[in-house]
Structure 1
Amino acid sequence: MTDIRSLFVTRLYHAALSAHGPAIDPNEMEASCYSIAEDDEAGQQWSEDNGYPGYTSYASLTDLPYRFPIFKDLVTALDKHVAAFAEDLQFDLDGKTLKLEDLWINILPEGGIHTGHLHPHSVISGTTYVAMPDGASAIRFEDPRLSMMMAAPGRIKDARPEMRTFAYVAPKVGDVLLWESWLRHEVPMNMSEEDRISVSFNYSWG
């Protein structure tokens, strides 16, 4: 008898933000993101100095929930999504909870990309989507074993999704994606003439 099974599964959480917490108006969230970006000169400068296309508040602002009430509502919803994902992952949190570590805005214009990266020192990372115009790029996840595959041949074109080296996920406005922070990911080029807007975050433990 032959037994072939999957080991060490990588989980990806994909849900509507509205499934937990207060309702978030995407139009209000989009306006809030642009308002913050317009006033955040430090974030604009960091983006320019570091070759980040468009704008991110990643290195400049740490208090979004205190600036606009809608971000406080967002955190209330995210806390519940993250708790649900942590339960699915069967984490032993030793009576503690995962807590928001940081939260930031990303505005990616036409032609903008965000190269492959991971989020060290965090447990769960994720993104919720504010504006995804036609042609806006999906997020791409990379098989975490890639650097160790060495002499392995490539996969066939129609390989099962769980067997592929890269996974592309095209979220909609109002969706939230969560993954474990060690999972490498990137945003391919935005082919739309309009901005791709998202809010990303990290949760830590202890």
Structure 2
Amino acid sequence: MTMHENLKLLFPTPIWEATIGDEQLNRQLETAIYEFEQNDKQFEFKKYPFGYTNYMTGKNLAKDPRFKPLVKKIFAEARKFLAEMKLKEPDAYYLSIFDMFCNINRKHSRHNAHRHERSELSGVYYVKAPEGSADLIGHSPLEPLMMHVSLDFFEENSIFTKAYQHMPPQTGKLLIFPSWFLHEVDLHLIDEDRLSISFNMGIFEKSDNNDIGGEKKK
């Protein structure tokens, strides 16, 4: 979008989007996800109807060897993201994924609006997202302040008056965003499964003794 030189954006919401074109990795991750579902005896359907997640099992997939190639790619993209966000002294910090879990969205499943707390960055990687899969819906941080604005005065595609934004998933797409970013998964209406991997990431000083799913300290 081209903007007038006099128009300034004071508080933008940064979203990092990258494509990981690794079909072999996706097949490996898909197999692992279905294995988790098959072997998970603690999962309660009523807590996640029409789908599956191992969020509540305490598993950190970042430490699973099958997920290591993805973790490495996530760290590389997160470094680029933080560079654009002007992280000072990047060599003084390392990244750690202390929470990574898989999700299966089946027909009629959805996930209500939520934030990922107790972390600096969060994100999602789409292992499999057939055409028509449920969108990720991002909510504007200004949404509570928009109630007094009459949207009838503005065009529908104006980014300045949208309370939420649809972000269609795509196989191999990686999204990284600030953990305060409110988001949800729309209703999944197709017969094929939508497979994703979510994660939460912290930024730590290299003097910290936190190596849970983290970069190798140099």
* Displacement after TM superposition at 1:76 (Å): 1.1
Task: Give the letter aligned to residue 143 of structure 2.
Answer: L
1:1-206 correspondence runs (5 A): 3-18=6-21, 25-42=25-42, 44-45=43-44, 48-67=45-64, 69-92=65-88, 95-154=92-151, 156-161=154-159, 163-206=161-204
TM-score (norm: length of structure 2):
0.82
Q: Structure 2: how far apart are the matches of 1:51 and 1:64?
A: 19
Assess if the C-alpha contact under 8 Å between 1:110 and 1:191 holds in 2. yes
User: Are residues 74 and 199 of structure 1, via their aligned partners in 2, closer, same or farther at CA, if it must alter by over 3 Å?
Assistant: same
| Residue range with higher mean Cα deviation, 136-145 or 154-163 | 154-163
User: Are residues 203 and 162 of structure 1, via their aligned partners in 2, closer, same or farther at CA, if it must alter by over 3 Å?
Assistant: farther
Task: Give the letter aligned to residue 171 of structure 2.
Answer: V
Q: Deviations over 1:118-171 (max 9, x none)?
A: 111111110000111222111110101112334222263433345422111113
User: Are residues 110 and 118 of structure 1, via their aligned partners in 2, closer, same or farther at CA, if it must alter by over 3 Å?
Assistant: same
User: Equivalent pairs: percent with the same residue?
Assistant: 25
| Residue range with higher mean Cα deviation, 191-200 or 149-158 | 149-158
Q: Structure 1: how far apart are the matches of 2:14 and 2:174?
A: 14
User: Are residues 54 and 93 of structure 1, via their aligned partners in 2, closer, same or farther at CA, if it must alter by over 3 Å?
Assistant: farther
| Unaligned residue ranges in structure 1 (runs of 5+) | none
The Cα RMSD (Å) is 2.2
* Displacement after TM superposition at 1:181 (Å): 0.6
Assess if the C-alpha contact under 8 Å between 2:130 and 2:170 holds in 1. no
* Displacement after TM superposition at 1:36 (Å): 1.3
Q: Structure 2: how far apart are the matches of 1:93 and 1:143?
A: 30
TM-score (norm: length of structure 1):
0.86
Q: Structure 1: how far apart are the matches of 2:109 and 2:80?
A: 32
Residue 35 of structure 2 aligns to a residue whose secondary structure is helix
| Unaligned residue ranges in structure 2 (runs of 5+) | 205-218
User: Are residues 52 and 181 of structure 1, via their aligned partners in 2, closer, same or farther at CA, if it must alter by over 3 Å?
Assistant: farther
